[in-house]
Amino acid sequence: MKIFLIMALLAAGHALPASAGDPFYIGTWKITSATVAPWRTAPYADDLAEMKSLVGKTVVIQPKAILGPHAAACKGPHYLIKDYPADMLFQGAFGEMHRRDKSADPAKIAAQLGFRGSSWKTLETGCGNELDYHFLDPATAAFGLNNYVYTLKKQ
């Protein structure tokens, strides 16, 4: 009976929703903005050009690949979800800032970028580009690349 219902929906032109078992990060994400990373006071010219080429682009996180601009694309990722405290965000950049300058509070730096709370889900991709996706909430993620922090919104 269930198969007949599915076939009837398909015949009627209705698309089936994504699998309810898909992890929260699977889907299409749009890079909506970029800001100069707190660990850098001024980006290099190449970083600025890269930022302009990435904002507005789409990243599709699939179970076995990440599709999108070259800087974000990855074949054969090895996903791992972890909870990161503020000092571990962006490959430990905020923790490193604190080690160099004790007045640099990782939690306050994270809050300036919109991170609320004390830890955040992080998708370690295991990709050669070393991008990790930090989730501010289920529909908003961020990654750091070459002196910019990019914000993505789930589409």
Q: What is the average per-residue pLDDT within 90-110?
A: 96
Q: Quick check: 5 pLDDT over 60? A: no
pLDDT of residue 134: 98
Rg of the chain over all Cα atoms, to the nearest angstrom: 18
Residue 44 lies in a domain: yes
pLDDT of residue 17: 45
Tell me how far apart the alpha carbons of residues 153 and 61 are, in angstroms, rounded to a whole number: 12
Residue 6 lies in a domain: no
Q: What is the average per-residue pLDDT within 14-30?
A: 73
User: Does residue 57 come out as left (phi exceeding 0), alpha (psi in the -120 to 50 range) or beta?
Assistant: beta
Tell me how far apart the alpha carbons of residues 8 and 14 are, in angstroms, rounded to a whole number: 9
| Residue 56: domain span | 19-154
Q: Quick check: 100 pLDDT over 70? A: yes
70 Cβ contact partners less than 8 Å away, ≥ 6 residues apart: none
Would you place residue 13 in the very low, low, confident or very high pLDDT band (cuts 50, 70, 90)? very low
DSSP 62-128: ETTEEESSTTT-EES---EEEEEEGGGHHHHHHHHHHHH-TT--HHHHHHHTT--SSEEEEEE---T
Residue 8 lies in a domain: no
Whole-number average pLDDT of the chain: 88
Residue 72 lies in a domain: yes
Residue 7 lies in a domain: no
pLDDT of residue 22: 81
Residue 4 lies in a domain: no
pLDDT digits (tens, 9 = 90+) for 104-123: 999 999 999 999 999 999 99
Residue 13 lies in a domain: no
pLDDT of residue 20: 57
Number of domains in the chain: 1
pLDDT digits (tens, 9 = 90+) for 28-82: 999 999 999 999 877 788 889 999 999 999 999 999 999 999 999 999 999 999 9
91 Cβ contact partners less than 8 Å away, ≥ 6 residues apart: 130, 132, 144
Residue 14 lies in a domain: no
Alpha-carbon torsion (19, 25, 26, 28), positive or negative: positive
